[in-house]
Homo-oligomer: A and B are copies of this chain.
C-alpha cells in the first residue's frame, strides 16, 4: 500500500521505454517532444504518483526557488501580514519562502542569515533587528550575489532595495490631526534616533511643530525602547511635568498602550485632557478602551512590493543592485483616543 520508494523520472522512462531526458523535457513542455509522448508521460507520472525531487533539480539548475525571510518576530500583525503577502506573490511564481525570526537579536539574525545561505536560497527579504548596527552579515549576502530586499527596518548604507512607509510624512499627518483637535502642547515618545525610521519620525515631528508655529519643548521629546513597560514609564514622566502636554504621539502601539494604561489609572480624560496617537495599527488598538488612533503601515502593499522587487532582481541578475527606495504613504486611522467631539 505505502509506496516507500519514490518514483523518479527514470521509472517513468522505463515504463514508457524512452529516455529519462525525454521524460524531463516532456514534463517541462519542451517543444522538441511530441504531443503524444508528453501526454503519455504525464499520464504515467500521475499514475505512479511522481513528485519531482526538488533537491536534484535545484542542484542541477543552481537555483533553489526558495526565498528567505527574516523578521524581528512573527507575532506582530504587521510582520505576519507582510509575510503572508510575500508568500502569496512568490508562490504564484513557483517560489517558496522560509521564515526566520531574529527576536530583535543581532546574533540570532546572523545565524539566520547563515542558515538561509546554507539552504541555498535564491534571495533574502529582511527587516532588521533593533539591535543590528553592524552590516557585515548583510554584506555577506550581497557578496554571494543573491538579491537582498529590505523592508520597514532598513539601512541606506547597504545600497539595496528598500520598501517602507513615509515615516517623516506620517509624523506630519499626526501632528496636523492633533492640531486640528485643538491640541497646543504635543509630546512625542519616539524610538531611538539611531534607527532610521524612528529618526525620521522624530524629524517629521519637529518640522511639523514648526509648520504649525508650536514651540519645540525639549522635555516633550523622549526617546524610548517602545515596549509597553517603557511606554508606561515615559508617560508617567510626562505627567510629572509642571507644564503637561495635551497630546502624546507615541512611535509604537505597544508603548502607546502602556501610556494609555497610565492615563486611565490616573483618571485622565482621553482625548479631552490628553489626546493619544500610536503607530502601527496593531489589532489591539481597536480593542482597548478608548480605542487608540494609529498609523496603518500598509503591510499588504509592503509585502507585495517586496516580493515583486525580489522577482525583478532575480529575473535581471545582470543589473547591479543599487539603493532603490520605494516609499509608501501611510494612513492615519482616527479612533476615540484623539477624536475630540466638537459641539
Q: How far is the CB of A285 from chain B (nearest CB, A)?
A: 10
Is A322 positioned at the interface, with any CB of B under 8 Å from its CB?
no
A75 touching B80 in the complex, CB below 8 Å, given contacts A98-B99, A143-B2 = yes
- How many residues from A make CB contacts under 8 Å with B? 51
Report the bound CA distance from A87 to B111 in whole Å: 12
Report the bound CA distance from A297 to B54 in whole Å: 37
Contact of A101 among B6, B84, B103, B289 (CB under 8 A): B84
A51 touching B118 in the complex, CB below 8 Å, given contacts A75-B80, A98-B98, A145-B2 = yes
Inter-chain contact A59/B53, CB cutoff 8 Å? yes
Contact of A145 among B4, B75, B77, B119 (CB under 8 A): B4
**Total copies of this chain within the assembly:** 2
Q: How far is the CB of A2 from chain B (nearest CB, A)?
A: 5
Report the bound CA distance from A73 to B55 in whole Å: 27
Q: What is the 8 Å Cβ interface bit string for chain A, positions 84-95, against chain B (1 contact, 0 not)?
A: 100100010000
Is A261 positioned at the interface, with any CB of B under 8 Å from its CB?
yes
Q: Give chain A interface residues in 65-83, CB to chain B under 8 Å.
A: 66, 73-77, 79-81, 83
Is A228 positioned at the interface, with any CB of B under 8 Å from its CB?
yes
Report the bound CA distance from A55 to B58 in whole Å: 7
Q: For residue A74, which residues in chain B have a CB less than 8 angstroms away from its CB?
A: 74-75, 80, 83, 99
